Amino acid sequence: MARACRLGLLLALLLPVAGTSLPGTVVRLNKAVLSYVSEIGKAPLQQALQVTVPYFLDWNGEVHQPTRIQISNVHVPQFNLKFIADFGVRMLVAANFTFKVFRVPEPLELTLPVVLLADANVAQGSIRTPVVSLSACFPLVHNAAVSEGSASVAPGLLVPVQKHIKAVLQNKLCLSISNLVQGLNVHLGTLIDLNPVGPESQIRYSMINVPNITKDYISLDINAILFLLGKPIVLPVEAPHFVLPAHMGAKGAMATVGLSQDLFDSALLLLQKAGALNLDITGQLKSEDNLLNTSMLGQLIPEVARQFPEPMPVTLKVRLGATPVATLRANNATIQLQPFVEVHAVASDSAFQSLFSFDVVVNLSLQLSMSRVKLQGTTSVLGDIQLTVASSNVGFIDANQVRPLMDTLFRKPLLDHLNALLGMGIALPSVVNLHYVNPEVFVYEGYVVISSGLLYQR
């Protein structure tokens, strides 16, 4: 029963969220990534090509004498990859195989050059991740050369041994490449992993359609779904399909990631719904630089001084009812917050007493950065904080007099809290063990572009 419940939950997460507006993201892997893949892929490729060679049965005139043959080394001096438009990737491998033939009286060492041509199709899998499949494979095995130091061998033995080895390689190499690709698909499947955003929230990415492949890049259209307590965050207005313009980002970057305005709107809506942007700002009476007390307020509001002849601590309860608004313009990202702030004082009986409340409008500059796979942000206040008195239990309040004090009390704690949240970051599309390195972040009208290298670490 428990296994069935887990399976049902997994299937629910994998299916598209019906009737929702999903933020768009585009990931483009450029030509530069192919060079990196061929570089880090040489070692596992060489290992995969070390196939098992069956015994060679040598006829000595009376019986077949089994001779053990073993691949002692595979060296890949050339491993090239290139994109095939509307299809996938073409692979060219040049490898040198060293074989040891355990004949009597002494072993024989042979070297066979092999050229391997293979085409791999990249498509969309059933769980909305990229799937690579080998569609064509042609191993070209050249004639063997006897290594220096080996004793001379009769052509009568060399020719059948070489024929035996060629047959084995032609039969097994493509299967080994196919198995290597299947292992890659398991890795690509981790794209849909749920990544935490906060204590009770996650983000999941999935492909929308088949990849767009040109001779210069492979582009993946991806939906981002943010979850709060297992429920998807849905924007109130349906978002148009996000299209990343061509030739965006830094030239020569391995990866170009486009993030739509809707992803930022969804992230802020998530923070607002989770109550993560709410905070209490509390002062301590014994602190020498504490301004959060009734004595300070009493200097500006006479009724506070009358009700609290002795200094008592004050708390600002900041609550965000309205959803924050992110604005993306050329080289400029901003956030507007409209919190409602209640000012409470601790009475002599330790109960909280509401003094007054005010509406606030704060405009913030947003600076974006990357760390490993996470997009992070820091903010600073743009201009003055706008403050309007909403209600009062302490008589008339001159907003112009109170504003400087409230600004001083409110600004730093708000920035500290907000920057701590944004500093946690939100994971971008990635697979396990793959990180973004040396990223550059560009802000455009309505979207953000990240140009980055990639680093694979086990």
Q: Which of 347, 351, 378, 349 lies closest to 365, judged by CA?
A: 378
Q: Which of 380, 430, 385 lies closest to 407, judged by CA?
A: 385
pLDDT at residue 405, as a whole number: 87
pLDDT at residue 10, as a whole number: 45
Q: Which H helix or E strand runs over 76?
A: strand 64-84
User: What is the C-alpha R_g of the chain?
Assistant: 33
DSSP 333-385: EEEEE--EEEEEEE-TTS-EEEEEEEEEEEEEEEEEEEETTEEEEEEEE-SPP
pLDDT at residue 458, as a whole number: 78
Query: Which token pair is 347?
Result: 């009475």
pLDDT at residue 380, as a whole number: 96
pLDDT at residue 154, as a whole number: 57
Model-level pTM? 0.86
| Cα–Cα distance measured from residue 224 to residue 445, given in angstroms and rounded to the nearest whole number | 20
pLDDT at residue 61, as a whole number: 52
Walking along the chain (458 residues) 10 residues at a time, the average pLDDT comes out as 41 44 86 94 94 81 74 95 97 95 80 96 93 95 76 67 92 94 92 88 93 96 93 84 89 94 94 93 66 88 92 91 93 96 84 91 96 94 92 92 87 93 94 93 96 92
pLDDT at residue 152, as a whole number: 60
pLDDT at residue 64, as a whole number: 61
Task: Give the chain's domains with CATH numbers.
Answer: 31-190 (3.15.10.10), 233-456 (3.15.20.10)
Q: Give the Cβ contact number of residue 433 at 10 Å.
A: 11
